[in-house]
Structure formats: structure tokens, C-alpha cells
Amino acid sequence: MFIDRVKIRIRGGHGGNGVTAFRREKFVPRGGPSGGDGGRGGDVWLQADSSINTLLHLRYNPEHTAERGYHGEGSNRYGRDGEDVLVRVPIGTQVFDGETGDFYCDLSEDGQRWLAAHGGRGGFGNSHFASSTNRAPRYHQEGSPGEERELQLELKLLADVGLIGFPNAGKSTLISAVSAAKPKIADYPFTTLEPHLGVVDLGDYRTFVVADIPGLIEGAHTGAGLGDRFLRHVERTKLLLHLVDVSSLSGRDPVSDYEIINRELAAYDPQLAERPQIVVATKLDALDEPERLESLRGRAKEDGRDFYEISSVTNRGVRELVFALAKRLDEMNTSHDNAQSREAGTRQ
């Protein structure tokens, strides 16, 4: 099960209490106060982990409390600090305040950590308060409570290529043809109910990641169909692969489908409409009206977008599309690296 939104409650460990004690050993004259300090409570950390791709494990385990600090003891023995708690989350997890919605952090790199809740400070024992004017204090300090928070965690998938399009446009069939991902494939709309990631192997240790986003329909940004629940997964993709069914089996106009999806992207986030996009005509094996293909080709050309035609069932054009994607991603990465180099040179 793919879970991309969950609430959890975290608590830092309470600090241990100090203690009031006095030394009364036989050969220690005027022993004096000897109460040790309490230990510090453990912290709660969130850490991005590449081995996890869903928040499912947190749905059934929403409470995370660090260990409390141990109490101080006599003979100036300090209490042990509490153990920290590490909560692992998928790469791409955003953390918000569960009550106010304030944004805290974005865990977008493997191993990245964020301190979610501080442990409480340990209390002082009575030896801490001894002075020249107060040689036998008979009081100590209680440990302070740890921080407590409710957090909203939201996952945004990280992928190089995001597949978008109407339901049944052939997204799941394509990702299963080019990668080891095995999403559900059927001849009815909304077959895909959760995003799927697939790794495309180009050979020579070169790969890129493709995300199959559940189908969008008109009004998706307002909640129609599967709504905007999965639109946010498109935000982190470098390149959009817009699949359009050109067969007459869909009963829809390819150009209209293409325009509707782009309007939904723009309505959800104007920057998405400007994201690099490649248009792909799918289901060529079922094409019975060639003018449907040509009209879509002309519309994509008007927008200055690359156009490809494929049949995932017969593998027609799939290999060419994969290598075109790899080339485009290489160009984008090179351009990004050059921009960073120029920026670094300007700073120096």
C-alpha cells in the first residue's frame, strides 16, 4: 500500500530529576551534599532513508517518544542521558506542523536529518547548589519535560521523468515495458490508484527513474477524479512525459485531452506548465484514424514540444523514446551543472 500523507506525534524524553543526598561515609569528615544531576532526555530525529518509499510504517505507528533521562544518585553520581529515537522517512518527505500547517523542513537527500523534538534538561542535584554561604542545601531540581509536537508528513516522489495524462492513456503499460515496475494494467479508467516508480536501465551503469502518476481528468486541481492528491508528485520531476491516447477507443479528442491536462497543471501550479515536456502519442496499434495522430502532432509543434509516437504493446517507438529521454535528461543535467559552476565563479 502506498501512503504519502500521515500525522505522527513525537515527544522528547523528559529530563531526569536531581537528588538530595549527603555523604555519611566513615572516613569522610564533613561529607556534605552529594546529590547528582539528572540525565538529559533523548531527542527525536527524522531521517531520510532511500530504502523506504512510503509512509505506511508510520500510519500504524504514529507515536514516537524518546527515552527519559535517568535520575541522579548520591555520591555525586549523575543520571544517564536518555537514548535518542530515529524516525526513518522516505526521501522527499516534507514536514509540517500538524496544527498550524507551518512548514518545517524538506528531507530531500538520503541520510539528511532533522531534529524534530528536543529532550528535556536534567535537573540539578543538591550538590550543584552548595556554596560558601549555603553548605548543606536540602533541595534539588526536577527535570524539565521534553518537547511534544504533532507533525504532518507529506511525501513528494523524486523522479527524473513523470508520466502524466488521462486515465487509460497507457502510462502503466509504458512503465512496465521500460522498467521492472509492475503496476496494475486493465482496460478501465483509474486502474492506477497510487504512484509507481520504475528504474530504466540504459546499460553501462546509466539509469533514470520514471514515476507513473495516477490519471488526471478535467477539474483535478479542484478535487475531481483522484483530485490533486497525486499532482504534488509531479512537482519534483525534472521532465514531464505527456501521454495521449490517439486511438478512437477512448471516445475523446487527443488535442482536447492534451490541452485539458496542461490547463490542470497550470491551475495547480503555474510553474508546472513551464516544466520541460515531451508529448507522446500512445496506442498506435489501435490507431484507425491517422488524422487524430497528425492533429496532436501539429498541436505539440505549436507549443514547441518534442513529439513521439509509440505502441507499448508492440514496443514500436519505445526504444527510441527511452534514448530520447536519456539524451534530454543529460542535456538538462549538463545545463544545471554549468549554471552552478557559473554561480560559484561569480561568488568567488
Per-residue pLDDT of the chain (348 residues; tens, 9 = 90+): 456 789 999 999 999 999 999 988 777 777 789 999 999 999 999 999 988 877 888 988 999 999 999 999 998 999 999 999 999 998 889 999 999 999 999 998 889 999 999 999 999 999 999 988 898 899 999 999 999 999 999 887 777 888 888 887 888 888 888 876 565 444 434 444 456 777 788 877 678 888 887 656 455 444 444 445 556 667 778 889 999 999 887 778 999 999 988 888 888 788 878 889 999 999 898 888 889 999 999 999 999 999 999 998 888 999 999 999 989 988 887 876 666 566 656 655
| Contact indicator for 285, 311 with CB cutoff of 8 Å | yes
Task: Report the phi/psi class of residue 345: left, alpha or beta, with left for phi > 0 and alpha for psi in -120 to 50.
Answer: alpha
CA distances from 113 to 95, 121, 187 (A): 12, 22, 43
E strand or H helix at 70:
none
- Please tell me whether residues 142 and 221 are part of one structural domain: no
DSSP string covering 165-204: -STTSSHHHHHHHHSS------SSS----S-EEEEEEEET
- Please tell me whether residues 149 and 186 are part of one structural domain: no
Local structure of residue 316 (DSSP, 8 states)? B
pLDDT at 242: 92
Cell numbers describing residue 55 = 509512509
CA distances from 156 to 93, 95, 255, 259 (A): 6, 11, 29, 25
E strand or H helix at 210:
strand 206-212
Which residue shows C-alpha cell 504532518? Answer: 152
- Please tell me whether residues 246 and 316 are part of one structural domain: yes
Q: What is the CATH number of the domain that holds 211?
A: 3.40.50.300
- Please tell me whether residues 117 and 219 are part of one structural domain: no
pLDDT at 137: 92
Q: Which domain holds residue 222?
A: 161-347
Please give the Cα distance from 64 to 68 (Å, whole number).
Answer: 12
Cβ atoms within 10 Å of 331's Cβ, excluding its own: 11
pLDDT at 36: 94
- Please tell me whether residues 138 and 270 are part of one structural domain: no
- Structural domain total, the chain: 2
- Please tell me whether residues 116 and 173 are part of one structural domain: no
- Please tell me whether residues 81 and 168 are part of one structural domain: no
| Contact indicator for 281, 250 with CB cutoff of 8 Å | no
CA distances from 328 to 2, 12, 28, 234, 240 (A): 29, 47, 80, 18, 11
Query: Is the torsion defined by CA of 201, 202, 203, 206 positive or negative?
Result: negative
- Please tell me whether residues 257 and 151 are part of one structural domain: no
Cell numbers describing residue 118 = 528536543
pLDDT at 186: 42
- Please tell me whether residues 148 and 176 are part of one structural domain: no
pLDDT at 63: 95
Confidence (pTM): 0.65
Please give the Cα distance from 193 to 73 (Å, whole number).
Answer: 57
Please give the Cα distance from 243 to 166 (Å, whole number).
Answer: 8
Please give the Cα distance from 135 to 1 (Å, whole number).
Answer: 64
Tell me which of 138, 155, 172 is where a domain ends: 155
- Please tell me whether residues 106 and 46 are part of one structural domain: yes
pLDDT at 296: 93
- Please tell me whether residues 304 and 227 are part of one structural domain: yes
| Contact indicator for 114, 95 with CB cutoff of 8 Å | yes
Taking Cα atoms as reference points, which of 210, 222, 128 lies closest to residue 176?
Answer: 210
